[in-house]
Amino acid sequence: MKIHNFSAGPSILPKEVFEQSAQAVLDFNGSGLSILEISHRSKDFVAVMEEARQRVRTLMQLPEHYHVLYLAGGASLQFLMTPYNLMKEQGGKAAYVDSGSWAANAIKEAKKLGTVDIVGSSKEKHYSYIPKDFTVDDSYDYFHCTSNNTIYGTQMQEFPKVPVPVCCDMSSDIFSRKLDFSQFDLIYAGAQKNMGPAGVTLVVVNEQILGKTGRTIPSYLDYQNHIAKESMFNTPPVFNVYATLLTLRHLEKTGGIEAAEKRNRAKAELLYNEIDRNDHFQTFCVKEDRSVMNVSFELLSPELKEMFDQRCKEAGISGLNGHRSLGGYRASIYNAMPIESVEVLVSVMQSL
């Protein structure tokens, strides 16, 4: 039976990526060696890292003074690296938007290194909308936001113009839509949604914002070290970077970010239309802030839960459970999710 994988992450990737990365585990580039046993300093892997960095540069149309890094530790380590690299040691102060659990985790880490002002929050309304209309003056070292809130299914539709460096956690919607990426100074994203397997984190950083904090930064946490070593400060997660490169190649081959956005909007529209039409379902969030990546919704008729779950199972639908903190359902419809899988889900919803 075909499985329709709606998992929130790690999540579906293109089938081609699975096939090519499995092949590389057996024999990488016809070398007779597995991708798991080659040196990260080998010519073949240095080329992989170089191409993986270059493709992000091209896809995002990044200016020269931006750098692309592949690090370890997930967004959770970036929650800490962001203030370490950007918040002044003396009197450091940053502006954060609290739009969800992951944003709150980022805030928690920044508070350990300086003052954090929460300039917008939807916490009191169960994160059901994206905070807007806040002001950020130039007294802050930087501004931080989360572009997409995986759990609640909300997404920033636009980004504020602020007079300080703009940092954005794009873990769950990276490469899903066209943006002017140069409006950000720091972007990070755990790969395990739209980019590749878990175990590698993309960091894009404007070098002009670095080196200004007066802090002694531990080596691994210092973006400048990773830039100087061309993302090879220490042994990178070789396989994970390679599988990410395969995903990026696939993205370019299928039309790049613009084409992906078009497909994503079609999938989201199909699913939200059904939720709006069907009296048994509703989203957790306000309409205007709905995410094109994570469609979180609840079933309003609890007596139908068993039947709905059973029919989903029979249809091969997997990973539809909502996050344990919120309950309900969550259909993650990342780049690699085909519209056919969304159609299967919609038809099960219509069967109730």
CB nearer a copy of itself, residue 344 or residue 352? 344
Question: Is 235 flagged in the annotation as binding?
Answer: yes
Check residue 33 and report its DSSP letter.
S
In the complex with a copy of itself, which residue's Cβ is closer, 60 or 170? 170
Q: List the catalytic residue out of 193, 222, 267, 289.
A: 193
Cβ 175 to a copy of itself, closest distance in Å?
A: 17
- DSSP letters, 148-159, are EETTTTEE-SS-
Asked about 193 being catalytic, the answer comes back as yes
Q: Which residues bind a copy of itself (CB under 8 A)?
A: 1-3, 5, 7-13, 17-19, 21-23, 25-26, 31-34, 36-42, 71-77, 79-80, 105, 108-109, 112, 190, 192, 196-200, 216, 218-221, 233-240, 243, 318-319, 324
11 annotated to bind ligand? no
CB of 179 to a copy of itself, least distance (A): 24
Contact between 268 and 292 under an 8 Å Cβ cutoff? The reply is yes
Q: Is 9 left (phi over 0), alpha (psi -120 to 50) or beta?
A: left
Catalytic residue list contains 313: no
Looking at the DSSP assignment, which residues form a beta bridge with residue 67? 205
Q: Phi, psi at residue 128, to the nearest 5°?
A: -85, 0
**Residues 98, 169, 173, 185: which is the catalytic one?**
169
Of the two residues 88 and 178, which places its CB atom closer to a copy of itself in the complex?
88
Q: Is 150 annotated as a binding residue?
A: yes
292 DSSP 8-state letter: S
Q: Is 180 annotated as a binding residue?
A: no
The answer to whether the annotation marks 331 as part of a ligand binding site is no
Cβ of residue 37: shortest distance to a copy of itself, in angstroms? 5
DSSP states of 80-141: HHHHHHHS-TTT-EEEEEE-SHHHHHHHHHHHTTSEEEEEEE-GGGTT-S---S----TTSS
CA 75 – CA 187 distance, rounded (Å): 10
Q: Whose Cβ is closer to a copy of itself: residue 116's or residue 130's?
A: 116
Give the annotated binding-site residues for L-glutamate: 41
Question: Which residues are marked as active site?
Answer: 102, 169, 193
